[in-house]
Every structure is written in C-alpha cells, then in structure tokens.
Structure 1
Amino acid sequence: MRKRKIIITCEHGGNYIPREYKYLFAAHEKELSSHKGWDIGALEVAKYLSRHIPAPLSYQRVSRLLVETNRSLHSDELFSKYAHELDKPIKKYILNKFYYPYRNAVEKNLAKYIAEGHEVLHLSVHSFTPVLNGIERQVDIGLLCDESRWLELEFCQMWQAQIQQLLPEKLTMINVPYNGADDGFTTYLREKFPVEKYMGIEIEINQKYAGTEDQSVIRSVLANSLVISENLVAE
C-alpha cells in the first residue's frame, strides 16, 4: 500500500480578536488568554509536525470565543456567550470573513488530493486544560477518532502502541478526553469523503506541558511514531 497524503490543521491556533470586536472582550481578557480562548501550545506542535513529517499546515488564529471554527453551523457553541448577542448580519459577516474561508480551503485541498487518487490522513491538532470543573485529567495525549470507521480506529491503535513504546512514562489514550465522533471539523469532513479515502484524527495534548521540555519530547515522539506507523501501513 502506498503512503497516504498527510495534512495538518489547527482550529484553535490563536486568541486573536479583530479590532472591531475587541469591545466584546474588554472585561474578559483573562478568559481570552485561558484555555477558553484558544488551545494553548497546539499551534507550536502543529508547526513542528508540519516541518518534520513534512505536511501542509492550515491554522486559525481567530479566537474560538469570537467564532468556533471546530463546530458546525447548528452548534450552540458556534458563537460564545460574548458574541452570541451580536446581530445576525454581523454574525453572518464573521462567518464569511473567518469561518468559511478556513474550512472551505481545507475541504478544497482534501477534495483535490482525493481526486488525484490519494488517501488522506488529516491530523487536527488540539490541546486541553489539565483540570476541568475541578477534576484533574490524567491522560497526557489523546488520539480521537470515529470508532465506527474501523480504518481510523485501527490506525489510532497502531499509533498509540508506537507512542507508548517511545514514551512509556506518558499516558496515551484513544477518544480521551473527548470522543472523536462528536461535533467537530473532522466529523463534518467524514460526511464529505469516503472512509477508504479520508481519515480524520484529532490529536489532543495536555496543556500542562505547553512551553516545557516535556512538550518538546511529546511533539518529537508524535512525529517519529507517526512515521513508523505510516511505514508499517505501507509494508
């Protein structure tokens, strides 16, 4: 089997707020800078993977608190409580300016690769807060997939085994701390492309490692273990 085409995305790469919407967050800078505003450390990992695999990278710098790029249009989380009361024309403008261009560009590239005969592995890089609602999360690395798509589950199991072999002191789990079949960009894309041509895997990294040497090790292991897993698939 030939190697797959790999693409990397990062839907929560920044907490940028365009000037005309800064007034919405004048009293909420703390939230904007926290895990609520962006996936801390995720873009750094995504850029590393893009360089070392190598693979093309798309990322969103606009904060999820203005518009949630990783949610579908029907989601209650599409606009946060800070942006929810904006008038419909303004929301439509925000979608047309920031949401659609990002998602449409990624979908267009996927369609192009698949039309060229490639199988595509889409890695969507995220991070998660180590403590949520007072509960400490024990997982260090999460690989999220739709378990009903056996190719995704099989690949995650293979990749998990390689990560654990290279990084046994860290806990890597499948569909923890979230379920990969829940509403998200990969879930949307699974509806657009056949299972034998598209795999959407979300990588979740514990934010307690952001900016530390541990994160440098984790990103290196992710890249090296992915190459090993892809070589095993190609054999």
Structure 2
Amino acid sequence: MGASPQSGGMAQAVEVENAEGGGPFVFVCDHASNFLPPPYDTSLGITEADKIAHIAWDPGALGVARGLSRALDAPLVFTTVSRLIIDCNREETRPDLIPCLSETTEIAGNRDIPAAEKDFRLNLAHRPFHNAIDKVISQRLERGVPTAVVSIHTFTPVYKGNSRPWEIGLISENDRSLADPVIADL
C-alpha cells in the first residue's frame, strides 16, 4: 500500500516558480511529473513502461509551462509527483482522484486504500497544490495584478484506442474570453 502518515521523509510534492511574476497569467501544471517516491515506486502494481507513459504524467507539459512562465513573467505552480498517487486535477470527492484505472491500465495498488492513506495523499500533494495556487492568486489580487489561470497539459495521440490528431487543445468552461482569441490567432 502507500506510505503511512507517520512515515514522513518525502520530498515536497509541489513547487512554485516566479511567484512574484507580474504578467497577466498564472500557469499551473497538475501532471508535471511521473516521480513515484517510495513506497509508491514499487507498490502500485504497474510496469516500468507504465511509469513513463502518459498514464503517469503529461510528458512535456512542465517544459512548456516553464517556457511560458519565463516568456510571460508569470508564476508557475506544479506538482512533483505522479498523478498515479493522486490526481491534483480532480476534486477531492471524485472517484478517480486516486485512479484505480488510468486509460486502460489497472493501478492495483490504488484499490481499496484505507481512509488514512487517502488523507495522507491529499495532504502530500493535492491540498498543498491547491493551497499554493490560492496563495499566488490571493497575493496577485492584493497587488491588483490582472490574473488568468491557465493549466498546461499534454495529451496522448491515442487514448483508449481512439486517435487524437489535434496539435493543440483549449478547454474552458463558460468564460471563453481567453480561449476564443487564442483559437482565432491559431
């Protein structure tokens, strides 16, 4: 199973770069890393190939996010552990917060974990990630800096057997004020 809340010793699972950046964006990268700290590196029941595949992270997303952060003088908040431990792009109540199935791969070590383990993982990465984003945004709002949050992801060209030929994807909810001009420029 996973680490116990008493095990300690794990590295920081969230990092913030350029927190004081003055550009109009805050970049977040929830799937920046495929790192599986002990004991997760051996306890999830996945192969070495799975550990470097899209199911474990968004390959290339952190590089893109860092490049945008530097070019646009924007803060960047990112995770340093794999989404197979906990998916920081999910609400705490989602059943796929700790995935038992990622695309078509079973994650046996995530099945039937005890509540204490779920809470440990929430406190390891999920809550610190969202707290870091909230802190960066709050500080910017206090300084009166215009802020648009942009989450950087990559996607696999084949998902569950279906081809995904797109080079760029933009996802937004109801507010299209950023997405539509970007699409028009592309």
TM-score range normalised by the length of the shorter chain: 0.7 to 0.9
How many Å separate the matches in 2 of 1:107 and 1:141?
A: 27
How many Å separate the matches in 2 of 1:79 and 1:27?
A: 14
**Identity of matched residues, %:** 30
What is the aligned residue count?
157
Higher helix proportion: 1
Question: How far 1:27 sits from its partner (Å)?
Answer: 4.0
Cα RMSD of the aligned pairs, angstroms, is 1.7
How many Å separate the matches in 1 of 2:181 and 2:46?
A: 46
| Structure of higher RCO (CA pairs closer than 8 Å, 6+ residues apart) | 2
Name the SS for the 2:152 alignment partner. Answer: strand
Per-residue CA deviation, residues 61-93 of structure 1 (Å, 9 max, x unaligned), is: 211111001000111110111323222112211
Name the SS for the 1:48 alignment partner. Answer: helix
* Residue of structure 1 in register with 2:129 after alignment: 102
The answer on whether the counterparts of 1:42 and 1:127 sit within 8 Å (CA) in structure 2 is: yes
Alpha carbons of structure 1 residues 134 and 54: separation in structure 2 relative to 1, 3 Å: same
- Of 19, 23, 28, which residue of structure 2 is paired with 1:9? 28
How many Å separate the matches in 1 of 2:121 and 2:160?
A: 30
- Of 82, 85, 88, which residue of structure 2 is paired with 1:66? 85
Matched residue type, 1:24: S
* Residue of structure 2 in register with 1:93 after alignment: 120
The answer on whether the counterparts of 2:23 and 2:72 sit within 8 Å (CA) in structure 1 is: no
Matched residue type, 1:42: A
The answer on whether the counterparts of 2:30 and 2:88 sit within 8 Å (CA) in structure 1 is: yes
The answer on whether the counterparts of 2:23 and 2:74 sit within 8 Å (CA) in structure 1 is: no
Runs of 4 or more above 3 Å deviation:
none
How many Å separate the matches in 1 of 2:31 and 2:112?
A: 22
The answer on whether the counterparts of 1:5 and 1:113 sit within 8 Å (CA) in structure 2 is: no
How many Å separate the matches in 2 of 1:100 and 1:89?
A: 15
State TM-score, norm by structure 2. Answer: 0.78
The answer as to 2:180 corresponding to 1:157 is: yes
- Of 34, 43, 56, which residue of structure 1 is paired with 2:62? 43
Structure 1 stretch displaced more, 73-82 or 83-92: 83-92
How many Å separate the matches in 2 of 1:113 and 1:53?
A: 15
The answer as to 2:166 corresponding to 1:143 is: no
